Structure 1
Amino acid sequence: PLMDAASEEAALRALPVAALDLPPETETALRRAGLNSVGDIARRPSAPLTARFGAQATWRLARLLGRVDSRITPRRAPPALLFSHPFAEPIGRMEHVMGVLGELAQRAATELEARGLGGRSFEARFYRSDGETRTVRIETGAPVRDPAVVMRLFALRIEALADPLDPGFGFDLVRLAVPQAEPFSQAQGGLDREEQGEDLGALVDRLSMRFGRARFRRLVPRDTHIPERAVAAVPALAAAPESWAAPEPEEPPQRPLYLFRPPLPIEVLAEVPDGPPLRFRWRGGTHDVAAQEGPERIGEEWWRDISRPETPRDYYRVEDKGGRRFWIFRHGIHEGGRAPPLWYLHGLFS
């Protein structure tokens, strides 16, 4: 039967001092001082106890009585779901082993559906009778729970292994874990269009399993106002697809789709030193500005490295007389006695 907190503490206080598992000399000193049980020590103030018998005695007492957090933290987080199937005798046929793995995938799908989740990663572990263990891991770009999709990805991953999965004298245990699970949203598409997003996600998953997760990348937004740092390329399976901010209806885009890295220097003619550009030269051609919008001042992220302050940039969205649109900026502020600011072309609008 379970004990309540008061009864449990009373039972702990009745234990002998040996329950603290202290060094022999410390335990002997406690007994000579008349402290023969845990309760005898617990009734004493902690400061004199620490000064006489050391901090270890005080810490072990607090740990035994539950006054400090002494939980065992695993090095790896336990999986969200775990399923296993032992064999009465070792199985050497991979067809049968994969069939059992498919049954485990079906059990995982049932449990994921009951919880409203989908797996972002699945891990199959094969235990051979000679003690060797092989682990095969797959990832998906979005939460999935369809057993057919999971098994197709496992088949592609096993086929692409540099060291083939050898049953040897047979497997005696197969285990399927779902280390990472996320909420599963069941989207309903229209009746007259194909679900291209799902097809593209499944294609990326299959190609990543066959050729490696680092070969296929997805662009994700970053929380920064510096244009060249606003987008990062990560493995397509590493994160869920991000939702990009939609532009305002009938409004031109604020940022071009194509950026030059580094920005390209250009020669600019302006009516006044700090005014908008009237004409600029780029790649040997002259572009007369028909319309412009700006400036938009973008400064450096001063909180990253204040020892090297960066001069702000003044950006302009310009359109030449041929209808082509550019994103240019003036780097620096015009001040007397200093070199004039430099102009750069940073991007092209489509």
Structure 2
Amino acid sequence: MAVTAEQIQSVLPPLLGEALGQSCVLHTCRRLTAGASADTWWLEADCNGPQQWILRLDAGAEDLGMAPGKRWEALAQRAASTAGCPVARVITVLGGSEGLGEGYLMEALSGESLPPVLLKDPRFASAREQFCGDAARALAAIHATPLTDLQSLPLQDAATQVELLYAMHRDYGESLPVFSLVYGWLKDHAPQIDSPALVHGDFRLGNFLIGEEGLNGVLDWELTHRGDPMEDLGWLCVNAWRFGRRDKPVGGIASRDELYAAYENATGQRVDEARARYWELLGTFKWGVICQYQAYSYLRGHVPSLERAAIGRRVAETEYDMLVCLQELMELNHAD
């Protein structure tokens, strides 16, 4: 059963009093989204002054089987914040016994997240110019986050993800040769992880809050895990997140060379281009399976959403993108 505003207004105040050490009065409680994996609310309160918060609750619906859960999402976000990543401060974590399910409350940050606005509006020209530097510094902080308290986060290396995604693809009953071709190549060339790091897992345009001065916050940690830091660089360059600007792989804003150089400057570590491009191909493969997942969640009656049904048409786009990625990656490996 979905959580109501009345339940939130009843349960949260005493928890906030304990977390903040002062009484709080909620006077606005408005649902923003009710997606498959997160039920998100906008809250306004008075705690010795006005406060604006975001509450993320587990929606309880099926997911890709790659999300660690809202509690671990909150703990990873909190740890990354301590390491210097620009994220919203987590105020309290809900374990489920409170009656709202698993979730967490965090501060609301300012900024724009809509890619069409960020890519075209003149107000964000300066933010676009410094995007690679901002993104690289955020990733450097994420990947340097101590894992001491995050050892129970799932370890998702390339081989694990490839097998999981291909099993999902086969479960849909479609025989798509491009998926089989790319699966075989990814399986045969899967890199090993020498030193697992915290990985955001969905680091892309659309999951950033950006102001006119630059990056204000990294959002949506629901796919966070331990893994290969190059995964985040590859995912950021997947063609689906370029929004029609194929010639600018980094979110439709910049080149890979600019991103790699900024990451090397922020971390002091060389980017293995072939490894990053491997993850770009794997990310494209993943997005293709996600498109199938979205469509079949409708076709199998799990989520009555026309938007999900329509996204199935994008599977063909990902097939083309996979072939382009694979050709470029094979040429890169041959040149080396």
TM-score, length basis structure 2: 0.19
Bigger relative contact order (CA 8 A; separation at least 6): 2
Give TM-score, length-normalised by structure 1: 0.19
Larger radius of gyration: 1
Q: Which has the higher helix share?
A: 2
